[in-house]
């Protein structure tokens, strides 16, 4: 059995054990708790969108075709006006 299968097996057994051994809590979740959960989820989506935006160029450059003989412009070449 490989180590990945062993970890999956152990996690499954632990989840089953926790599911069997817990009892009902009869807890009350007020509307503020629901709003907090929604805020955490939306913050996570916003964070993922920001990370995606920051690394979009790096990701697309992996799939962009390279044409031999064409040198890419440097940042200096892009900002200087042509004479």
pLDDT at 77 over 70: no
Residue 53 falls within a domain, yes or no? yes
What is the domain extent for residue 58? Answer: 32-65
Q: What is the total count of domains within the chain?
A: 1
Q: Is residue 83 part of a domain?
A: no
Closest CA to 72 of 37, 11, 64: 64
Classify residue 58: in a domain, yes or no.
Answer: yes
pLDDT tens per residue, range 32-75: 998 999 999 999 999 999 999 888 888 888 888 776 655 566 66
């Amino acid at each position: 059995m490989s180590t990945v299968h062993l970890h999956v097996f152990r996690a499954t057994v632990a989840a089953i054990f926790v599911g069997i051994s817990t009892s009902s809590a009869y807890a009350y979740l007020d509307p503020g708790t629901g709003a907090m959960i929604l805020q955490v989820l939306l913050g996570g989506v916003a964070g993922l969108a920001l990370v995606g935006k920051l690394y979009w160029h790096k990701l697309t450059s992996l799939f962009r075709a390279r044409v031999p003989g064409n040198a890419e412009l440097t940042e200096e070449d892009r900002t200087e006006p042509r004479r």
